[in-house]
């Protein structure tokens, strides 16, 4: 027997995705994971309260039938063009596994959702990160050459920048030989979906989620729309892995969210109005940021380092997101909360900035 044989040499090593903190406590203001600050539609609660408890004995519908029907009607797609999963993270992970197998590198932006390189590493998919330009925008030309697949969020995260459908269409059209995944987690906050292109391009997969605009991150519902061929492949892989991922309550409650278009619109409109007001307020305090079409702003301050503000805010019980990473280490990603939460944020920021600039003046006096 080989003494040096060691199971640890044969482990699939993974460096996991690190989500934003989920701190406990009532008095904190949580602006670090882009959740919706408002509750799900009232019908979701009503349905939750009347769920048939006895049905939990049974396996759920593998095709998430009622939810699939509601989404098909809402988006005007056929059942064979729709795939549902446990949050869009599940959908995206399945899509990576299914479509990115050519051995050629897949492409995504250098500043983007940090789960993409985690999946690529987990599945051993080669990848190349294409740098955003100085304005933090996607460089279309980077995605027109040979590749093993493309994944782009639109709007991009954490920049919030939305690229026009025409730009995305050029990328999709130039890549008929590989699958282009568009991650539209934030599209409801003022962008425009490329979903309308799925009949035209059989290499396009559009992925969306209930976690942000539908205020249901805790339910874990995501979905993808694409050509019947793509969706068939995705389902074959999913059903080779675990058929019963969508639980019955998620299916039933998701339906109620889709049915209440009025509530959905009103909620999204409130978030957008608050975001636009925040652009003015943060600008007044010396922050700058790309013009976000998402439910967050990616802000840097003209004189105070982002890390310092991040720590000071945390001390005050306000959580925003900060990454100590090249090119973005002087930025904060601030989720748009309620108006009251945003007023608290502005008030605390004013005090923090005032105090820090006071420290600066003290130092200068001492140095004189
Ligand atoms: C939040 C987010 C997701 C994941 O959302 P879930 O549906 O909750 O898994 C995917 N992509 C981007 C860009 C996100 O910001």
Helix (H, G, I), strand (E, B) or coil at 192: coil
Q: Is the pTM of this model over 0.85?
A: yes
Q: Is 184 in the pocket of ligand 1 (CB under 6 A)?
A: no
pLDDT of 21 reads 83
**Which of 182, 178, 210 is closest to 194 using CA atoms?**
182
Q: For residue 294, what are the CA distances in angstroms to 104, 193, 270, 318?
A: 32, 13, 13, 20
pLDDT of 1 reads 53
Q: For residue 6, what are the CA distances in angstroms to 2, 3, 9, 10, 14?
A: 9, 8, 6, 8, 18
Residue 363 has pLDDT above 90, yes or no: no
Q: Which residue has the CA at smallest separation from atom 2 of ligand 1?
A: 185
The phi and psi torsions of 29 (rounded to 5 degrees) equal -110, 120
Q: For residue 111, what are the CA distances in angstroms to 1, 108, 132, 224?
A: 48, 9, 7, 23
Let me know if 344 is exposed, middle or buried by CB neighbors in 10 A (0-12, 13-18, 19+): middle
Helix 248-259 vs helix 42-49: angle between axes, to the nearest 10 degrees?
Answer: 150
Cα–Cα distance, 85 to 96 (Å, whole number): 14
Cα–Cα distance, 294 to 159 (Å, whole number): 9
Residue 368 has pLDDT above 70, yes or no: no
Ligand 1: which of 83, 85, 118, 185 to mutate, judged by most atoms within 8 Å of the beta carbon? Answer: 185
Question: Which residue reads 């249901």 in tokens?
Answer: 216
pLDDT of 358 reads 83
What are the pLDDT digits (tens) for 23-61? 877 789 999 999 999 999 999 999 999 999 999 999 999
pLDDT of 123 reads 97
Residue 259: other Cβ atoms inside 10 A? 17
Q: Is 201 in the pocket of ligand 1 (CB under 6 A)?
A: no
Q: Using the atom order of ligand 1, give the atom closest to the CA of residue 33.
A: 1
Cα–Cα distance, 28 to 21 (Å, whole number): 12
Q: Is 185 in the pocket of ligand 1 (CB under 6 A)?
A: yes
What are the pLDDT digits (tens) for 106-138? 999 999 999 999 999 999 999 999 999 999 999
DSSP string of 25-87, one letter each residue: -SS-EE-SS---SSPPPHHHHHHHHT--GGGGGSPPPTT-HHHHHHHHHHHT--GGGEEEESH
Helix 115-123 vs helix 87-99: angle between axes, to the nearest 10 degrees?
Answer: 40
DSSP string of 121-180, one letter each residue: HHHT--EEEEPP-TTS---GGGGSS--S-EEEESS-TTT-PPPPHHHHHHHHHTTTTS-E
- Name the pairing type of β-strands 180-183 and 150-153: parallel
The rounded Å distance from CA 9 to ligand 1 centre is: 33
The rounded Å distance from CA 350 to ligand 1 centre is: 31
Residue 69: other Cβ atoms inside 10 A? 15
The phi and psi torsions of 85 (rounded to 5 degrees) equal -145, 180
What are the pLDDT digits (tens) for 184-240? 999 999 999 999 999 999 999 999 999 999 999 999 999 999 999 999 999 999 999
Contact in structure between 35 and 20 (CB atoms under 8 Å): no
What are the pLDDT digits (tens) for 57-104? 999 999 999 999 999 999 999 999 999 999 999 999 999 999 999 999
The rounded Å distance from CA 278 to ligand 1 centre is: 23
Residue 2 has pLDDT above 70, yes or no: no
Percent of the chain with pLDDT over 70: 97
- Name the pairing type of β-strands 332-335 and 296-301: antiparallel
């Amino acid at each position: 027997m080989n003494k040096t044989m060691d199971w640890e040499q044969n482990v699939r090593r993974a460096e996991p995705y690190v989500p934003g903190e989920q701190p406990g406590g009532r008095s904190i203001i949580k602006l670090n994971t882009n959740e919706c600050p408002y509750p799900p539609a009232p019908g979701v609660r009503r349905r939750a309260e009347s769920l048939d408890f006895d049905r939990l004995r049974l396996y759920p519908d593998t095709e998430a039938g009622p939810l699939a029907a509601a989404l098909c009607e809402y988006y005007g797609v056929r059942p064979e063009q729709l795939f549902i999963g446990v949050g869009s993270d599940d959908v995206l992970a399945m899509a990576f596994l299914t479509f990115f197998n050519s051995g050629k590198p897949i492409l995504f932006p250098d500043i983007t959702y940090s789960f993409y390189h985690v999946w690529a590493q987990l599945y051993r998919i080669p990848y190349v990160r294409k740098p955003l330009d100085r304005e933090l925008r996607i460089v279309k030309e980077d995605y027109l050459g040979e590749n093993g697949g493309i994944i782009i969020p639109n709007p991009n995260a954490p920049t919030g920048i939305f690229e026009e459908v025409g730009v995305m269409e050029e990328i999709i059209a130039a890549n008929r030989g590989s699958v282009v995944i568009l991650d539209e987690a934030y599209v409801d906050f003022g962008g425009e979906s490329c979903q309308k292109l799925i009949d035209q391009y059989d290499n396009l997969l559009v992925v969306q989620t209930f976690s942000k605009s539908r205020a249901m991150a805790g339910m874990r519902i995501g979905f993808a729309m694409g050509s019947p061929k793509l969706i068939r492949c995705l389902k074959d892989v999913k059903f080779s892995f675990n058929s019963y991922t969508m639980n019955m309550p998620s299916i039933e409650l998701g339906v109620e969210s889709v049915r209440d278009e009025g509530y959905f619109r009103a909620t999204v409109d409130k978030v957008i109005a608050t975001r636009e007001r925040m652009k003015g307020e943060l600008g007044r305090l010396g922050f700058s940021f790309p013009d976000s079409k998402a439910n967050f702003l990616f802000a840097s301050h003209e004189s105070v380092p982002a890390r310092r503000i991040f720590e000071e805010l945390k001390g005050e019980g306000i959580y925003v997101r900060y990454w100590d990473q090249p090119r973005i280490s002087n930025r904060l990603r601030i989720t748009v909360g309620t108006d009251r939460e945003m007023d608290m944020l502005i008030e605390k920021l004013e005090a923090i900035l005032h105090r820090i600039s006071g420290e600066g003046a003290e130092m200068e006096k001492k140095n004189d």
